[in-house]
Amino acid sequence: MNDARRSLVHHPDFRRLWTGDALGQLGAQLTYLALPVFAVKHLEATEWQMGALTAAETAAFLVIGLPAGAWVDRMRKRRVLIFSDLVRAAVLAVVVVAAFTDHATMPLLIVAGLVISAASVFFDVAHQSYVPGLVGMEHIVEGNSKLQATQSVAQVAAPAIGGALLRVVTAPALIAVNVVTYLVSAFAVARIRHREEPPSPESRRPLRTEIAEGMRFVVHQPLLRRIVACTGLSNFGSAITNAVFVIFALRTLGLSTAAFGTAMSASAIGGLLGAVSADRFARWIGEARVIPISALACVPAVALTPLAGHAGLPTQTLIIVGGFTLSFCVVVYNVAQVSFRQRVCPPALLGRMNASVRFIVWGCMPIGGLLGGWLGTHLGIEPTLWIAVGVTGAATLPVLLGPFLGMRDLPGAPDEAPDDEAPSAPDDGAPDETTVAAASTAPAEAPRTSPVD
Protein backbone atom coordinates (compact mmCIF):
# COMPACT_ATOMS: atom_id res chain seq x y z
CA MET A 1 0.00 0.00 0.00
CA ASN A 2 1.17 3.53 -0.80
CA ASP A 3 2.63 5.10 2.37
CA ALA A 4 0.71 8.33 1.67
CA ARG A 5 -2.55 6.40 1.91
CA ARG A 6 -1.59 4.01 4.69
CA SER A 7 -3.30 4.70 8.02
CA LEU A 8 -1.20 6.01 10.89
CA VAL A 9 -2.39 3.01 12.89
CA HIS A 10 0.44 1.21 11.05
CA HIS A 11 3.02 3.90 11.88
CA PRO A 12 5.08 2.58 14.86
CA ASP A 13 6.33 5.96 16.08
CA PHE A 14 2.88 7.53 15.83
CA ARG A 15 1.38 4.63 17.79
CA ARG A 16 3.88 5.33 20.55
CA LEU A 17 3.02 9.03 20.55
CA TRP A 18 -0.69 8.20 20.47
CA THR A 19 -0.35 5.82 23.43
CA GLY A 20 1.67 8.31 25.43
CA ASP A 21 -0.75 11.12 24.65
CA ALA A 22 -3.79 9.04 25.61
CA LEU A 23 -2.29 8.08 28.96
CA GLY A 24 -1.04 11.61 29.60
CA GLN A 25 -4.46 13.11 28.90
CA LEU A 26 -6.20 10.49 31.04
CA GLY A 27 -3.81 11.13 33.90
CA ALA A 28 -4.37 14.89 33.68
CA GLN A 29 -8.14 14.51 33.88
CA LEU A 30 -7.95 12.04 36.77
CA THR A 31 -5.71 14.51 38.61
CA TYR A 32 -8.31 17.26 38.29
CA LEU A 33 -10.80 14.94 40.00
CA ALA A 34 -8.58 13.29 42.62
CA LEU A 35 -6.79 16.31 44.12
CA PRO A 36 -9.94 18.22 45.20
CA VAL A 37 -11.51 15.07 46.69
CA PHE A 38 -8.31 14.36 48.63
CA ALA A 39 -8.16 17.97 49.83
CA VAL A 40 -11.73 17.96 51.17
CA LYS A 41 -11.97 14.41 52.45
CA HIS A 42 -8.52 13.93 53.98
CA LEU A 43 -7.15 17.43 54.64
CA GLU A 44 -10.37 19.17 55.71
CA ALA A 45 -9.69 22.01 53.27
CA THR A 46 -11.47 25.33 53.78
CA GLU A 47 -13.34 27.21 51.08
CA TRP A 48 -10.43 29.60 50.57
CA GLN A 49 -7.94 26.74 50.31
CA MET A 50 -10.10 25.02 47.69
CA GLY A 51 -10.27 28.26 45.75
CA ALA A 52 -6.49 28.49 45.82
CA LEU A 53 -6.20 24.86 44.67
CA THR A 54 -8.64 25.47 41.81
CA ALA A 55 -6.62 28.53 40.79
CA ALA A 56 -3.33 26.62 40.99
CA GLU A 57 -4.60 23.86 38.69
CA THR A 58 -5.22 26.37 35.89
CA ALA A 59 -2.78 29.18 36.70
CA ALA A 60 -0.30 28.25 33.99
CA PHE A 61 -2.84 28.96 31.25
CA LEU A 62 -2.92 32.58 32.42
CA VAL A 63 0.78 32.99 33.18
CA ILE A 64 2.50 31.10 30.35
CA GLY A 65 -0.36 30.14 28.03
CA LEU A 66 0.54 32.61 25.27
CA PRO A 67 4.34 32.23 25.04
CA ALA A 68 4.38 28.46 25.65
CA GLY A 69 3.70 27.70 21.99
CA ALA A 70 6.59 29.82 20.78
CA TRP A 71 8.91 28.36 23.41
CA VAL A 72 8.03 24.78 22.46
CA ASP A 73 8.65 25.57 18.79
CA ARG A 74 12.25 26.31 19.76
CA MET A 75 12.75 22.96 21.56
CA ARG A 76 12.78 19.27 20.69
CA LYS A 77 9.15 18.26 21.22
CA ARG A 78 9.87 14.66 22.17
CA ARG A 79 12.03 15.82 25.07
CA VAL A 80 9.34 18.28 26.17
CA LEU A 81 6.74 15.49 26.24
CA ILE A 82 8.93 13.12 28.24
CA PHE A 83 10.04 15.81 30.68
CA SER A 84 6.45 17.00 31.22
CA ASP A 85 5.27 13.47 31.99
CA LEU A 86 8.15 12.81 34.38
CA VAL A 87 7.58 16.10 36.19
CA ARG A 88 3.89 15.35 36.68
CA ALA A 89 4.63 11.82 37.84
CA ALA A 90 7.29 13.01 40.30
CA VAL A 91 5.07 15.72 41.79
CA LEU A 92 2.15 13.35 42.26
CA ALA A 93 4.44 10.69 43.70
CA VAL A 94 5.47 13.19 46.37
CA VAL A 95 1.79 13.83 47.12
CA VAL A 96 1.08 10.08 47.36
CA VAL A 97 4.00 9.46 49.72
CA ALA A 98 2.98 12.43 51.85
CA ALA A 99 -0.61 11.19 51.94
CA PHE A 100 0.24 7.66 53.03
CA THR A 101 2.67 8.93 55.70
CA ASP A 102 0.22 11.56 57.01
CA HIS A 103 2.45 14.45 55.97
CA ALA A 104 0.25 15.90 53.23
CA THR A 105 -0.81 19.53 53.60
CA MET A 106 -2.83 21.99 51.56
CA PRO A 107 0.24 24.13 50.70
CA LEU A 108 1.82 20.96 49.26
CA LEU A 109 -1.27 20.31 47.11
CA ILE A 110 -1.37 23.91 45.89
CA VAL A 111 2.30 23.84 44.88
CA ALA A 112 1.70 20.48 43.19
CA GLY A 113 -1.21 21.98 41.30
CA LEU A 114 0.94 24.86 40.07
CA VAL A 115 3.74 22.61 38.83
CA ILE A 116 1.36 20.14 37.19
CA SER A 117 -0.47 23.01 35.51
CA ALA A 118 2.74 24.30 33.94
CA ALA A 119 3.84 20.83 32.83
CA SER A 120 0.41 20.17 31.30
CA VAL A 121 0.56 23.37 29.24
CA PHE A 122 3.89 22.33 27.74
CA PHE A 123 2.70 18.75 27.16
CA ASP A 124 -0.47 19.89 25.35
CA VAL A 125 1.39 22.34 23.12
CA ALA A 126 4.23 19.92 22.34
CA HIS A 127 2.08 16.95 21.36
CA GLN A 128 0.08 19.10 18.94
CA SER A 129 3.27 20.54 17.41
CA TYR A 130 5.11 17.21 17.15
CA VAL A 131 2.82 15.57 14.59
CA PRO A 132 3.96 17.25 11.31
CA GLY A 133 7.61 16.35 11.72
CA LEU A 134 6.79 12.85 12.96
CA VAL A 135 4.32 11.67 10.30
CA GLY A 136 4.80 14.10 7.40
CA MET A 137 2.45 16.69 5.98
CA GLU A 138 0.46 14.09 4.01
CA HIS A 139 -0.73 12.55 7.31
CA ILE A 140 -1.07 15.68 9.43
CA VAL A 141 -4.88 15.82 9.31
CA GLU A 142 -5.27 12.19 10.29
CA GLY A 143 -2.67 12.51 13.03
CA ASN A 144 -4.22 15.62 14.57
CA SER A 145 -7.69 14.11 14.33
CA LYS A 146 -6.62 11.00 16.21
CA LEU A 147 -4.81 12.94 18.93
CA GLN A 148 -7.63 15.45 19.39
CA ALA A 149 -10.24 12.67 19.45
CA THR A 150 -8.23 10.86 22.13
CA GLN A 151 -7.94 14.04 24.19
CA SER A 152 -11.67 14.63 23.98
CA VAL A 153 -12.55 11.06 24.91
CA ALA A 154 -10.23 11.34 27.93
CA GLN A 155 -11.89 14.58 29.01
CA VAL A 156 -15.39 13.14 28.97
CA ALA A 157 -14.52 9.58 30.08
CA ALA A 158 -12.05 10.32 32.90
CA PRO A 159 -14.74 11.51 35.35
CA ALA A 160 -16.58 8.23 34.80
CA ILE A 161 -13.40 6.19 35.33
CA GLY A 162 -12.34 8.27 38.32
CA GLY A 163 -15.84 8.15 39.78
CA ALA A 164 -15.93 4.37 39.46
CA LEU A 165 -12.51 4.03 41.10
CA LEU A 166 -13.49 6.32 43.97
CA ARG A 167 -16.20 3.83 44.87
CA VAL A 168 -13.57 1.21 45.71
CA VAL A 169 -10.30 3.10 46.41
CA THR A 170 -9.33 6.23 48.32
CA ALA A 171 -8.32 9.49 46.66
CA PRO A 172 -4.59 8.95 47.43
CA ALA A 173 -4.80 5.55 45.70
CA LEU A 174 -6.38 7.22 42.67
CA ILE A 175 -3.55 9.75 42.62
CA ALA A 176 -1.12 6.80 42.63
CA VAL A 177 -2.89 5.51 39.51
CA ASN A 178 -2.17 8.90 37.93
CA VAL A 179 1.55 8.47 38.66
CA VAL A 180 1.54 5.19 36.76
CA THR A 181 -0.27 6.68 33.74
CA TYR A 182 2.32 9.46 33.47
CA LEU A 183 5.25 7.06 33.77
CA VAL A 184 3.87 4.73 31.10
CA SER A 185 3.19 7.76 28.90
CA ALA A 186 6.82 8.90 29.24
CA PHE A 187 8.04 5.37 28.47
CA ALA A 188 5.90 5.15 25.33
CA VAL A 189 7.13 8.51 23.99
CA ALA A 190 10.75 7.65 24.86
CA ARG A 191 10.51 4.64 22.53
CA ILE A 192 9.91 6.89 19.51
CA ARG A 193 12.85 6.42 17.16
CA HIS A 194 12.33 9.54 15.06
CA ARG A 195 14.83 12.28 15.86
CA GLU A 196 13.95 15.88 15.17
CA GLU A 197 16.09 18.92 14.65
CA PRO A 198 14.99 22.15 16.32
CA PRO A 199 14.36 25.07 13.96
CA SER A 200 17.22 27.35 13.16
CA PRO A 201 17.46 30.37 15.49
CA GLU A 202 17.76 32.57 12.39
CA SER A 203 14.17 31.67 11.41
CA ARG A 204 12.65 32.96 14.62
CA ARG A 205 10.61 36.13 14.76
CA PRO A 206 10.11 38.21 17.89
CA LEU A 207 7.83 36.43 20.35
CA ARG A 208 5.64 39.50 20.76
CA THR A 209 5.03 39.68 17.00
CA GLU A 210 3.85 36.07 16.72
CA ILE A 211 1.59 36.34 19.77
CA ALA A 212 0.05 39.60 18.56
CA GLU A 213 -0.98 38.11 15.20
CA GLY A 214 -3.07 35.39 16.85
CA MET A 215 -4.68 37.74 19.35
CA ARG A 216 -5.46 40.29 16.64
CA PHE A 217 -7.38 37.69 14.63
CA VAL A 218 -9.49 36.65 17.63
CA VAL A 219 -10.36 40.23 18.59
CA HIS A 220 -11.21 41.36 15.05
CA GLN A 221 -13.42 38.39 14.00
CA PRO A 222 -16.96 39.46 15.07
CA LEU A 223 -18.56 36.05 15.62
CA LEU A 224 -15.47 34.55 17.20
CA ARG A 225 -15.21 37.54 19.54
CA ARG A 226 -18.75 36.86 20.84
CA ILE A 227 -18.05 33.14 21.26
CA VAL A 228 -14.87 33.84 23.21
CA ALA A 229 -16.74 36.28 25.47
CA CYS A 230 -19.40 33.65 26.18
CA THR A 231 -16.85 30.92 26.81
CA GLY A 232 -14.63 33.06 29.00
CA LEU A 233 -17.48 34.22 31.23
CA SER A 234 -18.82 30.67 31.44
CA ASN A 235 -15.45 29.37 32.53
CA PHE A 236 -15.19 32.15 35.08
CA GLY A 237 -18.48 30.98 36.59
CA SER A 238 -17.36 27.36 36.32
CA ALA A 239 -14.20 28.12 38.30
CA ILE A 240 -16.26 29.79 41.02
CA THR A 241 -18.37 26.63 41.23
CA ASN A 242 -15.36 24.30 41.18
CA ALA A 243 -13.79 26.13 44.11
CA VAL A 244 -16.58 25.05 46.47
CA PHE A 245 -18.35 22.18 44.69
CA VAL A 246 -16.46 19.29 46.28
CA ILE A 247 -16.91 20.82 49.75
CA PHE A 248 -20.61 21.30 48.99
CA ALA A 249 -21.05 17.69 47.84
CA LEU A 250 -18.99 15.91 50.50
CA ARG A 251 -19.47 18.18 53.49
CA THR A 252 -22.68 20.18 53.07
CA LEU A 253 -24.74 17.49 51.35
CA GLY A 254 -22.99 14.70 53.24
CA LEU A 255 -22.33 12.49 50.23
CA SER A 256 -19.86 9.70 50.79
CA THR A 257 -16.85 9.37 48.50
CA ALA A 258 -18.55 6.38 46.86
CA ALA A 259 -21.77 8.35 46.29
CA PHE A 260 -19.77 11.26 44.90
CA GLY A 261 -17.99 8.88 42.54
CA THR A 262 -21.32 7.51 41.38
CA ALA A 263 -22.57 11.02 40.68
CA MET A 264 -19.45 11.85 38.66
CA SER A 265 -19.77 8.63 36.66
CA ALA A 266 -23.42 9.25 35.84
CA SER A 267 -22.81 12.90 35.00
CA ALA A 268 -20.01 12.03 32.58
CA ILE A 269 -22.44 9.99 30.50
CA GLY A 270 -23.94 13.29 29.36
CA GLY A 271 -20.62 14.29 27.82
CA LEU A 272 -20.27 10.96 26.06
CA LEU A 273 -23.82 11.24 24.69
CA GLY A 274 -23.05 14.77 23.54
CA ALA A 275 -19.95 13.55 21.71
CA VAL A 276 -21.91 11.01 19.65
CA SER A 277 -24.96 13.17 18.95
CA ALA A 278 -23.63 16.74 18.67
CA ASP A 279 -23.23 16.63 14.89
CA ARG A 280 -26.79 15.41 14.35
CA PHE A 281 -28.09 17.91 16.91
CA ALA A 282 -26.34 20.80 15.14
CA ARG A 283 -27.76 19.73 11.78
CA TRP A 284 -31.27 19.58 13.22
CA ILE A 285 -31.23 22.98 14.97
CA GLY A 286 -28.55 24.68 12.90
CA GLU A 287 -24.88 25.06 13.70
CA ALA A 288 -25.24 28.78 14.48
CA ARG A 289 -28.35 28.43 16.66
CA VAL A 290 -26.99 25.52 18.66
CA ILE A 291 -24.35 27.79 20.20
CA PRO A 292 -26.72 30.15 22.10
CA ILE A 293 -29.24 27.36 22.79
CA SER A 294 -26.69 25.04 24.37
CA ALA A 295 -25.15 27.93 26.33
CA LEU A 296 -28.58 28.92 27.64
CA ALA A 297 -29.41 25.33 28.62
CA CYS A 298 -26.32 25.32 30.85
CA VAL A 299 -27.94 27.84 33.21
CA PRO A 300 -30.71 25.62 34.69
CA ALA A 301 -28.25 22.72 34.73
CA VAL A 302 -25.84 24.73 36.89
CA ALA A 303 -28.74 25.89 39.11
CA LEU A 304 -29.59 22.29 40.08
CA THR A 305 -26.42 22.15 42.23
CA PRO A 306 -27.41 24.77 44.85
CA LEU A 307 -31.00 23.49 44.69
CA ALA A 308 -29.71 20.11 45.87
CA GLY A 309 -29.01 21.67 49.26
CA HIS A 310 -32.65 22.29 50.05
CA ALA A 311 -34.50 19.86 52.30
CA GLY A 312 -37.01 17.58 50.64
CA LEU A 313 -35.27 17.51 47.27
CA PRO A 314 -33.47 14.38 46.00
CA THR A 315 -29.88 15.46 46.61
CA GLN A 316 -27.86 12.97 44.58
CA THR A 317 -30.44 12.89 41.79
CA LEU A 318 -30.25 16.65 41.28
CA ILE A 319 -26.44 16.54 41.22
CA ILE A 320 -26.54 13.78 38.60
CA VAL A 321 -29.24 15.40 36.43
CA GLY A 322 -27.47 18.77 36.57
CA GLY A 323 -24.09 17.26 35.78
CA PHE A 324 -25.47 15.08 32.97
CA THR A 325 -27.26 18.01 31.32
CA LEU A 326 -24.31 20.34 31.72
CA SER A 327 -21.85 17.84 30.27
CA PHE A 328 -24.10 17.24 27.28
CA CYS A 329 -24.55 20.96 26.59
CA VAL A 330 -20.82 21.69 26.97
CA VAL A 331 -19.87 19.13 24.35
CA VAL A 332 -22.60 20.20 21.90
CA TYR A 333 -21.49 23.82 22.29
CA ASN A 334 -17.85 22.94 21.74
CA VAL A 335 -18.43 20.82 18.66
CA ALA A 336 -20.08 23.80 16.96
CA GLN A 337 -17.74 26.57 18.09
CA VAL A 338 -14.45 24.67 17.74
CA SER A 339 -15.41 23.51 14.25
CA PHE A 340 -16.21 27.12 13.33
CA ARG A 341 -12.88 28.34 14.70
CA GLN A 342 -10.96 25.76 12.69
CA ARG A 343 -12.77 26.71 9.47
CA VAL A 344 -12.68 30.48 9.76
CA CYS A 345 -9.02 30.82 10.76
CA PRO A 346 -6.24 30.75 8.13
CA PRO A 347 -4.14 27.57 8.56
CA ALA A 348 -0.97 29.52 9.26
CA LEU A 349 -2.65 31.20 12.24
CA LEU A 350 -4.39 28.17 13.76
CA GLY A 351 -1.86 27.50 16.50
CA ARG A 352 -1.59 31.12 17.59
CA MET A 353 -5.36 31.62 17.32
CA ASN A 354 -5.98 28.61 19.58
CA ALA A 355 -3.32 29.81 22.02
CA SER A 356 -4.96 33.23 22.16
CA VAL A 357 -8.42 31.76 22.71
CA ARG A 358 -7.16 29.45 25.43
CA PHE A 359 -5.32 32.31 27.13
CA ILE A 360 -8.58 34.27 27.33
CA VAL A 361 -11.06 31.52 28.17
CA TRP A 362 -8.82 29.43 30.43
CA GLY A 363 -6.81 32.31 31.85
CA CYS A 364 -9.86 33.62 33.68
CA MET A 365 -10.27 30.35 35.58
CA PRO A 366 -7.59 30.89 38.27
CA ILE A 367 -9.14 34.29 38.95
CA GLY A 368 -12.56 32.67 39.24
CA GLY A 369 -11.15 29.98 41.53
CA LEU A 370 -9.70 32.55 43.92
CA LEU A 371 -12.94 34.54 43.85
CA GLY A 372 -14.95 31.39 44.54
CA GLY A 373 -12.79 30.58 47.54
CA TRP A 374 -13.13 34.13 48.87
CA LEU A 375 -16.91 34.18 48.36
CA GLY A 376 -17.30 30.76 49.97
CA THR A 377 -15.37 31.95 53.01
CA HIS A 378 -17.23 35.25 53.48
CA LEU A 379 -20.71 34.57 52.06
CA GLY A 380 -21.09 30.83 52.39
CA ILE A 381 -21.08 27.98 49.90
CA GLU A 382 -24.67 28.11 48.68
CA PRO A 383 -24.65 31.88 47.95
CA THR A 384 -21.37 31.36 46.08
CA LEU A 385 -22.99 28.67 43.92
CA TRP A 386 -25.90 31.00 43.12
CA ILE A 387 -23.45 33.75 42.12
CA ALA A 388 -21.88 31.22 39.74
CA VAL A 389 -25.33 30.56 38.29
CA GLY A 390 -25.72 34.30 37.68
CA VAL A 391 -22.35 34.50 35.95
CA THR A 392 -23.30 31.54 33.75
CA GLY A 393 -26.51 33.33 32.82
CA ALA A 394 -24.64 36.54 31.99
CA ALA A 395 -22.27 34.52 29.80
CA THR A 396 -25.10 33.70 27.40
CA LEU A 397 -25.70 37.37 26.51
CA PRO A 398 -22.89 37.79 23.93
CA VAL A 399 -24.32 34.93 21.84
CA LEU A 400 -28.01 35.47 22.61
CA LEU A 401 -27.87 39.15 21.62
CA GLY A 402 -25.71 38.47 18.57
CA PRO A 403 -26.78 37.23 15.14
CA PHE A 404 -26.57 33.52 15.96
CA LEU A 405 -30.28 32.88 16.57
CA GLY A 406 -31.13 34.43 13.20
CA MET A 407 -28.62 32.23 11.36
CA ARG A 408 -28.64 28.54 10.61
CA ASP A 409 -25.09 27.98 9.34
CA LEU A 410 -21.87 29.65 10.37
CA PRO A 411 -19.40 31.00 7.78
CA GLY A 412 -17.42 28.26 6.10
CA ALA A 413 -19.98 25.53 6.77
CA PRO A 414 -19.69 22.48 4.48
CA ASP A 415 -22.72 23.43 2.39
CA GLU A 416 -21.03 26.73 1.58
CA ALA A 417 -17.95 25.01 0.12
CA PRO A 418 -17.07 25.60 -3.52
CA ASP A 419 -18.48 23.08 -5.98
CA ASP A 420 -15.09 21.55 -6.68
CA GLU A 421 -14.57 20.58 -3.06
CA ALA A 422 -15.47 17.13 -1.84
CA PRO A 423 -19.01 16.82 -0.46
CA SER A 424 -19.53 16.08 3.18
CA ALA A 425 -19.96 12.52 4.29
CA PRO A 426 -23.51 11.16 4.60
CA ASP A 427 -25.09 11.10 8.03
CA ASP A 428 -24.79 7.54 9.23
CA GLY A 429 -25.60 8.37 12.81
CA ALA A 430 -22.02 7.99 14.03
CA PRO A 431 -19.57 10.82 14.75
CA ASP A 432 -16.35 11.02 12.82
CA GLU A 433 -13.01 11.80 14.43
CA THR A 434 -13.40 15.51 13.71
CA THR A 435 -16.70 15.64 15.61
CA VAL A 436 -15.26 13.88 18.61
CA ALA A 437 -12.12 15.98 18.43
CA ALA A 438 -14.14 19.16 18.81
CA ALA A 439 -15.94 17.81 21.85
CA SER A 440 -13.41 19.03 24.36
CA THR A 441 -14.29 20.17 27.87
CA ALA A 442 -12.65 22.09 30.66
CA PRO A 443 -9.53 20.98 32.48
CA ALA A 444 -11.45 20.55 35.68
CA GLU A 445 -14.15 18.20 36.95
CA ALA A 446 -15.89 17.71 33.63
CA PRO A 447 -19.46 17.30 34.94
CA ARG A 448 -19.24 20.71 36.59
CA THR A 449 -17.91 22.67 33.62
CA SER A 450 -19.31 25.37 31.42
CA PRO A 451 -18.62 25.78 27.67
CA VAL A 452 -14.86 25.83 27.28
CA ASP A 453 -11.99 25.49 24.80
Task: Inform me whether the pLDDT recorded for 60 exceeds 70.
Answer: yes
- Looking at the domain assignment, is residue 1 inside a domain? no
C-beta of residue 328 within 8 angstroms of C-beta of residue 270: yes
* HSE-CB of 128 using CA atoms within 13 angstroms: 20
3-state class of 440 per DSSP? coil
Q: What is the pLDDT of residue 438?
A: 41
More confident residue, 68 or 90: 90
Question: Residue 198's pLDDT band (boundaries 50, 70, 90)?
Answer: low
C-beta of residue 298 within 8 angstroms of C-beta of residue 334: no
Average pLDDT (170-184) is 88
DSSP string, 326-348: HHHHHHHHHHHHHHHHHHHS-GG
- % of the chain residues with pLDDT over 70: 81
- Determine the angle formed by the axes of helices 350-378 and 381-395, rounding to 10 degrees: 150
Q: What is the pLDDT of residue 14?
A: 84
pLDDT digits 0-9 by tens, 94-122: 999 999 999 999 999 999 999 999 998 88
**Domain containing residue 172:** 8-412+426-448
Task: Inform me whether the pLDDT recorded for 452 exceeds 70.
Answer: no
Phi (first) and psi of residue 196, to 5 degrees: -105, 155
pTM: 0.78
C-beta of residue 303 within 8 angstroms of C-beta of residue 389: yes
DSSP string, 301-315: HHHHHHHTTSTTS-H
Q: What is the pLDDT of residue 368?
A: 95
Angle at 17 between CA 453 and CA 199, to 5 degrees: 80
Torsion angle, alpha carbons of 363, 120, 295, 346, to 10 = 80
Q: What is the pLDDT of residue 378?
A: 94
- CATH code, domain carrying 182: 1.20.1250.20
- Determine the angle formed by the axes of helices 106-135 and 350-378, rounding to 10 degrees: 170
Q: What is the pLDDT of residue 140?
A: 65
- Looking at the domain assignment, is residue 420 inside a domain? no
Task: Inform me whether the pLDDT recorded for 88 exceeds 90.
Answer: yes
- Looking at the domain assignment, is residue 90 inside a domain? yes
- Looking at the domain assignment, is residue 374 inside a domain? yes
Q: What is the pLDDT of residue 431?
A: 40
Question: Residue 398's pLDDT band (boundaries 50, 70, 90)?
Answer: very high
pLDDT digits 0-9 by tens, 225-262: 999 999 999 999 999 999 999 999 999 888 888 788 77
Q: What is the pLDDT of residue 436?
A: 40
- Looking at the domain assignment, is residue 220 inside a domain? yes
- Looking at the domain assignment, is residue 3 inside a domain? no
Phi (first) and psi of residue 108, to 5 degrees: -60, -45
- % of the chain residues with pLDDT over 90: 30
Cα 443 from Cα 55, distance rounded (Å): 12
Task: Inform me whether the pLDDT recorded for 70 exceeds 60.
Answer: yes
- Looking at the domain assignment, is residue 146 inside a domain? yes
Cα 108 from Cα 441, distance rounded (Å): 27
- Looking at the domain assignment, is residue 418 inside a domain? no
Q: What is the pLDDT of residue 187?
A: 93
Task: Inform me whether the pLDDT recorded for 169 exceeds 90.
Answer: no
Cα 394 from Cα 237, distance rounded (Å): 9
Structural domains of the chain, count: 1
What b-and-e string marks burial along 338-376, b requiring 16 or more CB atoms within 10 Å of the CB?
Answer: bbbbbeebeeebbbbbbbbbbbbbbbbbbbbbbbbbbbb
C-beta of residue 249 within 8 angstroms of C-beta of residue 263: yes
Cα 365 from Cα 204, distance rounded (Å): 31
What does the mean pLDDT of the chain come to?
A: 80
Task: Inform me whether the pLDDT recorded for 384 exceeds 80.
Answer: yes
Task: Inform me whether the pLDDT recorded for 71 exceeds 70.
Answer: yes
Lowest mean pLDDT among 117-126, 133-142, 253-262, 333-342: 133-142
